[in-house]
Structure 1
Amino acid sequence: MAKGYWIGRVDVTDPEVYKEYVKLNAAPIAAHGGRFLVRGGEFVPSIGSARERNVVIEFPSYQAALDCWHSEGYQAALKVRLPVSVSEQLIIEGYDGPQPGDTTAG
């Protein structure tokens, strides 16, 4: 079963309120098996526009990623974040197929 991911790009307009969002999102993300692969950090915009924060969260399945997004806990956190941020976010299914250089593919 393929993993699921949240990919977000965010500009924050009120860092203090955003900190409250971070506190509120921890429980629903953990409850759905989510773990941060990218959370802020240094980056180089290589093509197109950039936002100040980039986030990638991995979930054990695509369904878990969807369930977390729709959970009551995450929706409550999101209500705190939306007024103090501009963002793009997507939920995407991971890929389990052959990789470049994979010699085991038949």
Structure 2
Amino acid sequence: MKAYWIAHVDVADAEHYSQYTQRAPKAFTEYGAKFLARGGRSEALEGRATPQRSVVIEFESYEQALACYHSAAYQEAKRYREEWARAEIIIVEGIAPL
């Protein structure tokens, strides 16, 4: 079954954050990630306030999504994100098609 990264990101410094966005695609490409939502309009209807960016990334499997996150390429990119942005990232397994 497919799996998804769901991320909510608040960027403190866009210029420095670009160091992350320049590096992260290497891992996403390697693990066959497909972006379904990245930024764009959003509105919080319940829960915390709307983050600056909401991102949904599809992977072919839960294991592939986890492997991407733990990969050396992503961990290297993540180091650049951690200093200049606050992120909440979860991986969720999809459901079988009806």
Which TM bucket (shorter chain)?
over 0.9
5+ unaligned residues in a row in structure 2: which ranges? none
**3-state SS of the aligned residue for 2:79?**
helix
User: Residues of 2 paired with 1:36 and 1:18: CA distance?
Assistant: 19
What residue number does 2:89 align with? 89
SS at match of 2:82: helix
Per-residue deviation, 1:72: 0.1
| Equivalence map 1:1-106=2 (5 Å) | 2-49=1-48, 50-96=50-96, 98=98
Bigger shift: residues 7-16 or 83-92: 83-92
CA deviation after TM superposition for structure 1 residue 13, in Å: 0.2
Residue deviations 1:12-39, cap 9 Å, x none?
Answer: 0010111111110001111101011010
Aligned residues: 97
How far residue 87 of structure 1 moved from its aligned partner, in angstroms, is 1.8
TM-score, normalised by the number of residues in structure 2: 0.94
Instruction: Give 1:102's aligned residue.
Output: none
Unaligned runs of 5+ in 1: 99-106
Q: Percent identity between the aligned chains?
A: 40
Tell which structure's C-alpha radius of gyration is larger: 1
Distance 2:37 2:18 in 1: 17
